A and B are shown apart, each in its own frame.
Chain A
Amino acid sequence: MKSNYDVLVIGGGPGGALAAKTAAENGLSVCLIEKRPAIGVPVRCAEGIGEDLIHEFFDEVNPKWISADIKRAVLISPDGQKVTLDPSIAGNEVGYVLDRKTFDRDLIWMAAGAGAEIYVKTRAVDAIVKDGIVQGARIEQGGVEQDVYASIVIAADGVESKFARWCDINSTVPLRELETCAQYLMTDIDIDNEATVFYVGNEISPGGYVWIFPKGDRTANVGIGIMGNKSGDGHRAKDYLDAFVQKTFPEGKTIELIIGGVSVCEPLACTVADGLIIVGDAARLSDPITGGGIYNAMYTGRLAAEVATEAISQKNCSKESLIVYDETWRNSKMGDALARNYQIKELFITLDDTVLNTILNSVKKIQMTEFSTRQLVREIMNFNPKLRKELKSLKKYFE
């Protein structure tokens, strides 16, 4: 490892990989460090992504990355009613369940192929900050520490991010806005291989949802997220998951336990500083409704590298120069969706199961032209004139 690079990327998930790949393709010298000994494992993800989102980054989607093609979604109300969400054109795929182990590795492979240096089992132990300007990181590898300087550091260190904090940016997630999650990869279970299934309700999953995301024939990620403040002894995410699995898939076999936290708070107030750009989960950019964060990390990782390239060519890596990154994602479709879905989430967590039943029981089938929470809520509002009044605070997001 050298002691100086144009760009230092902290973290080897999809956000860091896209940042490193893009920066290297733009001719910058790039160092990416990953604290774990392997990329992509352990998985901490339900692995779902929208169909249109992944195609934005690749001319061709490698079939190895895809565990299952998803054609529809099913929502199950607290009293067990099913609402099927179908694309308006039958037979269309609406999304994929990825194989993150393969996908994440391939993204890093691409970054390496583009010229980025990659170091695993290598971690940042502190930020190097002089006169308020981020200059690099103190890096530990095999028990030896060294200072690595960079014109720009891209922090892609995920939900358990420390780097921003070392740069005096408070990235603490409020307890009630951290979904605490547990998931089993299960096999030998009766599922619809082409549908993602979501169970909502305060008894089954307080302030969150249970998901079944197919991973292939009779195999699925079966998981749950609950609001952090609803968690405690005897009623943790894993307790809820065990109760669900016992009831729904008593004969199923569990071949992997996956746990993790997903932030459903608002994004960091500012995602740049002098010499620093923060991307993906580290910037608190996972979707407040779905918890999805793969696309958001990839989009902001790539954007961060583009902004870094321009800033370095202008020899100005100040916050004023990097702020275009922050402004661009906030004004993007992703930024709009984050703002809107945060407000929807804040309202939906206040609804009790009776109201949820009323809402979902008025709808049985929704044909969707676009698979989004925006369209879902809009359709639900159309079916429930009374609800429209209750949701009037959200009206501006649907006009």
Chain B
Amino acid sequence: MLKIHREVCGYCGACVSVCPEGSLELIDAFLTVNTETCKSCKICVKVCPLGALEVVDEE
């Protein structure tokens, strides 16, 4: 599942624009992910200018 490292995230929204599922949303300074629709495709992980996103194994 997608993990958002909030201490790294600069809430710019670059990830939101490339998400094919529309699973990400930027609410002011808070990025949210809909884990039900997110397919862990990692496109957002790649594009993030700061490296704030990571796909981790579900526990």
The residues in A between 244 and 273 inclusive whose CB is less than 8 angstroms from any CB of B are 257, 259-261, 263
Contact B43 A175 (CB under 8 A): yes
Contact B17 A159 (CB under 8 A): yes
- Is A91 engaged at the interface, CB distance under 8 Å to the other chain? no
Instruction: List chain A residues, Cβ under 8 A from B25.
Output: 160, 162
- Is A181 engaged at the interface, CB distance under 8 Å to the other chain? yes
B27 to chain A, nearest CB (A): 7
Contact of A259 among B19, B29, B50 (CB under 8 A): B50
Instruction: List chain B residues, Cβ under 8 A from A181.
Output: 14, 49
Q: Which of the four size classes fits the interface of chain A? A: 20 to 34
Chosen A-B contacts, 25 in total, with CB atoms closer than 8 Å, are A44-B13, A158-B13, A159-B17, A160-B14, A160-B26, A162-B22, A162-B25, A172-B17, A173-B17, A174-B18, A175-B18, A175-B43, A175-B47, A180-B47, A228-B46, A233-B51, A236-B48, A238-B49, A259-B10, A259-B14, A259-B50, A260-B49, A261-B12, A261-B15, A261-B18
Give a binary string over B20-52; 1 marks a CB under 8 Å from any A CB, 0 the rest: 101001111100000000000001001111110
The residues in A between 198 and 254 inclusive whose CB is less than 8 angstroms from any CB of B are 228-229, 231-233, 236-238
3 interchain residue pairs of minimum CB distance: A261-B14, A160-B13, A160-B16
A396 to chain B, nearest CB (A): 30
- Is A161 engaged at the interface, CB distance under 8 Å to the other chain? yes
| A175-B46, A237-B49, A238-B49 known; A228-B18 Cβ under 8 A | yes
Instruction: List chain A residues, Cβ under 8 A from B12.
Output: 44, 259-261
Contact B51 A159 (CB under 8 A): no
The residues in A between 305 and 335 inclusive whose CB is less than 8 angstroms from any CB of B are none
Instruction: List chain B residues, Cβ under 8 A from A233.
Output: 51
A171 to B17, CA, bound (A): 8
A236 to B28, CA, bound (A): 23
Contact B47 A228 (CB under 8 A): yes
Among residues of B, the one whose C-beta sits closest to the C-beta of A227 is B47
A232 to B47, CA, bound (A): 7
Contact A123 B50 (CB under 8 A): no
List 7 extra interface pairs beyond A159-B13, A160-B17, A165-B22, CB under 8 A: A44-B13, A162-B25, A180-B49, A231-B46, A259-B10, A261-B18, A261-B47
Instruction: List chain A residues, Cβ under 8 A from B29.
Output: 36
Contact A257 B10 (CB under 8 A): yes
Instruction: List chain A residues, Cβ under 8 A from B19.
Output: 172
- Is A182 engaged at the interface, CB distance under 8 Å to the other chain? yes
The residues in A between 269 and 310 inclusive whose CB is less than 8 angstroms from any CB of B are none
Instruction: List chain A residues, Cβ under 8 A from B48.
Output: 180, 231, 236
Which one of B13, B27, B51 has the highest number of Cβ atoms from chain A below 10 Å of its Cβ? B13
Instruction: List chain A residues, Cβ under 8 A from B20.
Output: 172
B35 to chain A, nearest CB (A): 17
Contact of A236 among B13, B16, B49 (CB under 8 A): B49
Instruction: List chain B residues, Cβ under 8 A from A121.
Output: 28
Instruction: List chain A residues, Cβ under 8 A from B16.
Output: 159-160, 162
A28 to chain B, nearest CB (A): 28
Contact B51 A236 (CB under 8 A): yes
B58 to chain A, nearest CB (A): 21
Among residues of A, the one whose C-beta sits closest to the C-beta of B47 is A228
- Is A178 engaged at the interface, CB distance under 8 Å to the other chain? yes
- Is A37 engaged at the interface, CB distance under 8 Å to the other chain? yes
Instruction: List chain A residues, Cβ under 8 A from B22.
Output: 162, 165, 172
A155 to B48, CA, bound (A): 24
Instruction: List chain A residues, Cβ under 8 A from B50.
Output: 182, 236, 238, 259
